[in-house]
Structure 1
Amino acid sequence: MNISYSIWPVIIIPYNFPPWICMKQPNFIISLLIPGRYAPGSDMDVFMEPLVDDMYDMFVHGVRTFDASKGEYFQLRAAILCTISDYPGLGYVAGCTTSGEGACIECHQFTRSLRLKKGSKTCYMGHRRFLHANHPFRFDADSFDGVVELESSPVPLSGKEILKQTEGMQTSFGKDPSGKKVTKKRKCKEGEPINIWKRRSIWFKLPYWKDLLLRHNLDVMHIEKNVCDNIINTLLGTDKKSKDNLNSRLDLQALGIRSDLHPIEVEDKFYLPPAPYSMTSEEKKLFCKVLNGVKFPDGYASDIRRNVQVNEKKIIGLKSHDNHVILQQLLPLAVRRILPENVSAALVRVSNFFKQIYSPVIRVSDMQKLEAEIAETICLLEKIFLPSFFTIMIHLMVHLPAQARIAGPVHFRNMYPGERNDEGLPMEVQSTTPFFRNIGRGLAGKYCVALDHKTWLQAHRYVLFNYDNIDPYLNKHIDYLSSTGLQNKHEIDRVHHETFHEWFRLHVTEMGDDEPEEIKILAKEPIMAANKYNSYTINGFNFHTQSYDEGRPVQSSGVSLMAETTCFERGNNDCRVVGNKIYYGIIKEIIELNYSNRGNIVLFKCDWVDNRIQDKWVRTDQFGITTVNFKHLFNTGDNISDEPFILASQAIQVYYVQDPVDTEWFAVRQSKPRDLYNMSETEKDDLGNDTEVSIILPDVHPNSTMNISVEETVFVRTDIDGIIVEANKPKTKNNGKGKRKV
């Protein structure tokens, strides 16, 4: 059954909750349901009026409310901070246009738009005016539209300016039951400023609305989806969705720019020269194979392999979160081995932009830098893609950092929370002391095993060396070894690593009851019987062993660790060098040590890629993408001195994507934990949340600065052939008496 009908829910989200429950659906307040077969349009104000009246009363007069914690009454007041909707919905709420020549609410009457006659679309370019005054792109007329750019970027309108522009506006509410439009839009005369306002929004009835710095959010979720669709469909040349077709080339020819890409008429057909982003049939298949070969961690994303048709060179049926993952994680991997370097660099910059804009913690200085970077990135895209590529969604990227500077992280300002419901899994918080406080839980395959001595020693040794308060004992043992006449620091470190556990047990026994409780538990050593798991959840990640992953549509066995390492200069055993290194591995076993039934510690035993020689088996390319080779491992646990274990609490989940060209290498992509917030002890105490854990998870795969010149751009690929397309057939329109050409 196909029923054309819509319901628009209007949801109020209270922002004075802790961040881990603020955007959860149980705390949403459904204030309105707007029914109708058609979008409400200007009638949105009619439906919103009861809500606006209530919010006016809440702000001006307040509501007498009882405070149970203090046992007294107080006057509860509330205010609407901003609205969140997709871009067409923003037009209904704000009372402005979101398409046509004045489509950008931030640029308002100064929106740079261009009507493409052949494609019958409006494009939005002219992003050089968002660059700083001396940027070389401003003076590079040949690479852009043939004009030097001297204008500055437009300033968003204040609330008072909007009130002035909408003063005296008359609005006719209601619709014709037949669905016909009541009035026809009046076209602006030449030289007349663009009027983007359809009416004065009812929200201006609120006394504070005109003073807000940000009244309506640009929804990052929908912007990201549309940007990703634009890129993928254009790269793959998807029929009827690609922004590069005959009409696009004819519009380019009419504009008199980028002559190398103009269509060439061949009898009754046209030859389209290859653009810098064009791909051959085999390259398109290679692009699709990258996406088709990906397995994500459990709960991280849907299985997009079912959406990828390799032989047909199509990607269909993607949801918003699928686009989110592809654009931020997979697109750089797919293009870096196929497209020219500068084209790949521009697309990787778009990917990195969305990674940074989604950051849960933002700084004003970072957003100011990002604002300059995205303007330059879109200008790079203008040098690469055709004008038809630049829809309003591409343009809106340039305004996202400014909104983040005003309103904070986009997690609290996009539509994802309203379109999903994730209650999460309860964590087991148990044990007697902070170190043995188990903040995870086993999910599957729990069974008891007897550990061999080598595995037992390696696990116990790692626990000791990674205990937070172990440093005084480590120093005592090193001082003791130094007094025994060992030759150099290298030899002391070797003996220290091999014998510390024995010395520590004897030393704590001698000290008796003077030692802290945790130290006494550690000195008693774990028993030889341990629990093993196939799956374990901690820090917001679901981890699997490699064997448990086999045959499943997920990849949850990838793990990484940022650790402090000590090494010695070649030929000098007394010169110790300390630094941080990132390790990448695959979980082989999940083991829970039992310290005499007084405390448990969960560890992951892993196969680690050999990273002892820089850029040999772990390397980072010019785009900041790290790749690893699992043919070369170390610390596998074969030798008793190996360190194959890490604490489960230290693990950062990653997943690996096979290189489509060199199949021995795998690109590293970092997963993101859900509902994990880094809070200070003071904040946790104030909130009274005894089970919430403050954990700092470092970004083991930070965005690297790409050392690629933005001055050089490839306008045409000379290594591949163009395509031949049929001439466009003239459109026909039915005038009621027959069909005629238009």
Structure 2
Amino acid sequence: MDETESTYLKHCRKVVYMGHCQFLVTNHPVQKKGKHLKQKADHRTKPKHRNGKSMFAMVKNLKVVFGANLQRAKMATWRCIYGKSKDTLEARNDIKHMEQRDVLHSEPIEKGSHYLSPASYTLSKKEKEIMFECLESIKVPSRYSSNIKSIISTKDKKFINLKSHDYHVLMTQLLPVITRGFLADNVRATTTKLCVFLNAISQKIIDLDSLAALQEDVVQCLVSFELIFPLSFFNIMTHILCHVVKEIDIIDPVYLHNMFPFERYMDVLKKYVRNRSRPEASIAKGNGTEEGKGTLGRRAIMTTDNDLFRKVHFTVLQQSSLVAPYIEEHQAIVRSENIGKSDAWITCYHIDTFPAWLRQHLMGNETIDRQLAFLARGPSCSVSTFQGYEINGYTFYTRAKDKKSTNQNNDVRINAIRYDSTTSMYYGVIDNIWELDYGPLKVPLFRCQWIDDSGSSVVGPMV
């Protein structure tokens, strides 16, 4: 800490932390060529890492006052949060006082006012309109974040009512998208690189071999930011980014130390409470029914397409581990009785005849698993359809419902095995949601319009 460079800004009256080039690897080209804030060669090495005892001895008598975080500072610098901008007259005067970046010096005009020339990071009125139009058009899945429309003011071109998790989603996912096409190349590229870094360190699984590259990326971002943003931007919350990677190495991934995942989950649990005198029981009961349930537009229909119904039933059987041994047995029987037939013919015949064969094969067998007996018997001809369905905390809508919703819950993805045993990634939109009734067992299925990696489109079976 005592080797970390800090500067007191006279006009902003705050301490900032600059000179991040010293955190680069030894003999880095940026250090040797002076392509940083000081414009001269800098061969300093990064401060030594201290152990817990020495750090405690240094800070045990400090009084800590927490301030705004990095995400808020960055969005404010673009003047998207009212009254929070780091690009103020005082910040420009500090730049002038330190004799840096002449183009950003404030220019006095009549009646004591000053003109602040647009900087490379400043958004024009037209660019703000484009950015907020893009934000307004974004639809995210339920529980992914706040409704984007509720955290922006399109009229005032401001962000409003942002919570910690909203900043997280903006900085890790949305910011590179909404700023694409404007801002100077160096500003956009460096900002996107920082967003990629923040997204990487927020993952649940981090490869230890990638930590060195992540450390170099974030330091290069901060060195570039020193040439772009005002000096007041580099408070302690910005400087801490230099130490996040080391923190991951010592005390595990960042997501384990964030508070908002627990706060968001507590909000989910509170919604289960129906009896305030027994909140724990209400939460336990609600959490137990979270596995899968229809939520919107329930309607009962009688199936008339026997071919589709048979394929749907086969899809359910194919996904059950209890049925797997009987699938192999039936395929062996079909091959032995149809020698010389192609694999494609065998597969089609197996799909068409397996449900009836399984039912006949297990009829009267009282030693099999109860769930297997219900599956072999087959579903009721009365099928429940839904416009919305929740499974393990995830919400799914049909295409028709999704068009009317403020959220996007219509898209799915699956890694499927073809008839020739090759695998391919399929992306789809949900057309119909069925719930098959196997007695005490209810099985939801989605019928989707699929497209694979090659761009081929197909209406798929229920999955």
TM-score of the superposed pair, with normalisation by structure 2: 0.79
Distance 1:504 1:300, change over 3 A: same
Distance in 1 (alpha carbons) for counterparts of 2:160 and 2:263: 21
Deviations 1:108-144 (A, max 9, x none): 2122212233443332122222222243222241343
Distance in 2 (alpha carbons) for counterparts of 1:200 and 1:308: 38
1:443 aligns with 2:305: no
1:561 aligns with 2:413: yes
Higher helix share: 2
Q: Which residue of 2 aligns with 1:91?
A: none
Distance in 1 (alpha carbons) for counterparts of 2:227 and 2:304: 63
1:588 aligns with 2:431: yes
Q: Which amino acid aligns with 1:290?
A: C
Q: Which residue of 1 aligns with 2:72?
A: 229
Q: CA deviation at 1:602?
A: 0.9
Distance 1:345 1:579, change over 3 A: farther
CA contact (8 A) 2:314 2:355 kept: no
1:251 aligns with 2:101: no
Distance 1:439 1:497, change over 3 A: farther
Spell out the pairing of 1:348-387 with structure 2 (5 A cutoff).
348-387=192-231
Distance in 1 (alpha carbons) for counterparts of 2:163 and 2:62: 34
Q: Which residue of 2 aligns with 1:150?
A: 43
Q: Which residue of 2 aligns with 1:292?
A: 136
Distance in 1 (alpha carbons) for counterparts of 2:4 and 2:444: 57
CA contact (8 A) 1:301 1:322 kept: yes
Q: Which residue of 1 aligns with 2:281?
A: none
Q: Which residue of 2 aligns with 1:114?
A: 7
Q: Which residue of 2 aligns with 1:531?
A: 384
Distance 1:612 1:282, change over 3 A: same
Aligned residues: 439
CA contact (8 A) 1:428 1:441 kept: no
Distance 1:482 1:153, change over 3 A: farther
1:503 aligns with 2:346: no
1:601 aligns with 2:443: yes
Q: Which residue of 1 aligns with 2:258?
A: 414
Deviations 1:220-247 (A, max 9, x none): xx88x72222221222465642223444
Spell out the pairing of 1:62-211 with structure 2 (5 A cutoff).
108-162=1-55, 197=59, 199=61
1:634 aligns with 2:457: yes
CA contact (8 A) 1:277 1:339 kept: yes
CA contact (8 A) 2:87 2:230 kept: yes
Query: Structure 1 regions of 5+ residues with no counterpart?
Result: 1-107, 167-195, 202-215, 431-437, 487-491, 568-575, 615-632, 637-641, 647-742
Distance in 2 (alpha carbons) for counterparts of 1:549 and 1:525: 31
Q: Which residue of 2 aligns with 1:484?
A: 340
Percent identity between the two aligned chains? 25
Distance in 2 (alpha carbons) for counterparts of 1:152 and 1:412: 31
Partner SS state of residue 244, structure 1: coil
1:404 aligns with 2:248: yes
CA contact (8 A) 2:70 2:237 kept: yes
Partner SS state of residue 2, structure 2: helix
1:613 aligns with 2:445: no
Deviations 1:708-728 (A, max 9, x none): xxxxxxxxxxxxxxxxxxxxx
CA contact (8 A) 1:362 1:409 kept: yes
Distance in 2 (alpha carbons) for counterparts of 1:606 and 1:354: 34
Deviations 1:688-731 (A, max 9, x none): xxxxxxxxxxxxxxxxxxxxxxxxxxxxxxxxxxxxxxxxxxxx
CA contact (8 A) 2:412 2:427 kept: yes
Distance 1:372 1:241, change over 3 A: same
Distance in 2 (alpha carbons) for counterparts of 1:330 and 1:549: 21
Distance in 1 (alpha carbons) for counterparts of 2:168 and 2:116: 31
TM-score of the superposed pair, with normalisation by structure 1: 0.52
Distance in 2 (alpha carbons) for counterparts of 1:234 and 1:592: 50
Spell out the pairing of 1:210-359 with structure 2 (5 A cutoff).
226-236=69-79, 240-259=83-102, 261-263=103-105, 265=107, 268=110, 274-359=118-203
Distance in 2 (alpha carbons) for counterparts of 1:540 and 1:441: 10
Partner SS state of residue 189, structure 2: helix
CA contact (8 A) 1:542 1:556 kept: no
Distance 1:234 1:414, change over 3 A: same
CA contact (8 A) 1:289 1:310 kept: yes
Distance in 2 (alpha carbons) for counterparts of 1:116 and 1:429: 56
CA contact (8 A) 1:477 1:496 kept: no
Q: CA deviation at 1:318?
A: 1.7
Query: Structure 2 regions of 5+ residues with no counterpart?
Result: 273-284
Distance 1:599 1:304, change over 3 A: closer
Q: Which residue of 1 aligns with 2:278?
A: none
Distance 1:305 1:250, change over 3 A: same
Q: CA deviation at 1:334?
A: 0.7
Deviates more, 1:319-328 or 1:270-279: 270-279
